[in-house]
Amino acid sequence: MIMAQLIKLQDYVSRYEQDPYQYPARFIQLKKKNWNNVRASFEKGDISLMFSHVEQEELAGKSEEKQSFIKTVRKFFKKEDEELVVEERFSEPHVEKSLSSFTTTPQTFEDLKILFLENVFKLQVKWASSTLWEYSNVEREFYHDPTLKYFLQRFPDTYLVMYKPIFVIKKAPVEVDVVLIGPNDTWCISMIERKDNSVFQYSKERFWDEWVGDEKRKVLNPLIGLNRTEKIVRQLYEANNVELPIKKVVLSRTGYIDCPVPPYGITFVDRRNYDSWFHELRGNSMPLKYNQLKAAHVLLGRSQATYLTRDKKEELNE
């Protein structure tokens, strides 16, 4: 079971900012340990159920919705039973409890995987929005963001995700798209998706044409944001002697990009070549590398963090 790591979410304070060289390995070990425990408990028929006060209010009268959620997502994780890379030991009892307790009883092994990954997803958002003594107020939409879940739940543990981070460049905040830091490459990704089978016509202008059947609409040229993202990442790498190749991708999983010859240095990934591109990244079994962690350290160091401080007693009682 795999899951990429969310090291930065917009301008929220992140635990990875405190120690980007240690937290990635800790996350891998924590997830592997708890998945093995949960799987063993499931096989024994001993699964814990836990409802917090907030969860009780949200889940009241929604048992059918929960089962529908499992059915909907089951296909998403089909044929995923990969083993994890173990880097080092890490134990947080309160975290382990949050990963091993569920709000509904899994009926099948596939249900178990879906519910466990949902717990891990919530943990990732927490790690990407809080430290021991600081926290950021997370917009609720991120807990249901399908694109965020896609990057976290479909790529290996050794990929580090910066989702719409805000960099501080010359004292000015600049929001970019998605930065995926892998063991061998850094992927700057701009997504362009709306409806299935949309056709996006490439243009050097500020807008592209999107065709859905006979309907045409204007969409912002994704290369504008993509080039901005790549420029910032490259400048920070060069200034800090980070040696990690940078690749630029315009991604449309559900549509087509009409451009016979892509601009130099740009890869267009659409329905025609998505599977090969995806399996290339997903099949990367390389462990975490020093240059990758150094790259994360540099990018996190120039990211904006907006947060509040909390009392020590509040955190200890959490």
In 3D space, the residue among 123, 172, 167, 122 whose CA is nearest the CA of residue 145 turns out to be 122
- Give the range among 18-32, 240-254, 299-313 with minimum mean pLDDT: 299-313
Distances (CA, A) of 248 to 19, 46, 92, 223, 301: 27, 47, 37, 9, 22
pLDDT at 2: 85
Does position 257 have pLDDT exceeding 50, yes or no?
A: yes
Query: Residue 122 corresponds to which tokens in the numbers above?
Result: 């919530």
- Give buried/exposed letters for 296-317 (b at 16+ CB in 10 A, else e): bbbbbebbbbebeeeeeeeeee
User: pLDDT confidence of 91, banded at 50, 70, 90?
Assistant: very low
Decide: 181 and 282 in contact? Cβ < 8 Å.
no
**Residue found by looking up tokens 């209010």 in the block:** 57
**Residue found by looking up tokens 């909390």 in the block:** 310
pLDDT at 46: 81
H-run or E-run covering 256: strand 256-258
**Pairing, β 172-175 against β 166-169:** antiparallel
Distances (CA, A) of 122 to 39, 99, 128, 235: 19, 9, 10, 33
In 3D space, the residue among 64, 55, 153 whose CA is nearest the CA of residue 113 turns out to be 153
Chain segment 24-78, per-residue pLDDT in tens: 999 999 999 999 999 998 888 887 675 433 344 344 444 444 455 455 445 444 4
pLDDT at 103: 81
Q: Is 206 exposed, middle or buried (0-12, 13-18, 19+ CB in 10 A)?
A: exposed
DSSP 203-244: -SSSEEEEEETTEEEEEE-HHHHHHHHHHHHHHHHHHTT---
Mean pLDDT is highest, among 8-12, 34-38, 96-100, for: 8-12
Decide: 252 and 270 in contact? Cβ < 8 Å.
yes
CA gap 257, 254 in Å, rounded:
10
Torsional class of 61: left (φ above 0), alpha (ψ -120 to 50), beta (otherwise): left
Chain segment 146-184, per-residue pLDDT in tens: 999 999 999 999 999 999 999 999 999 999 999 999 999
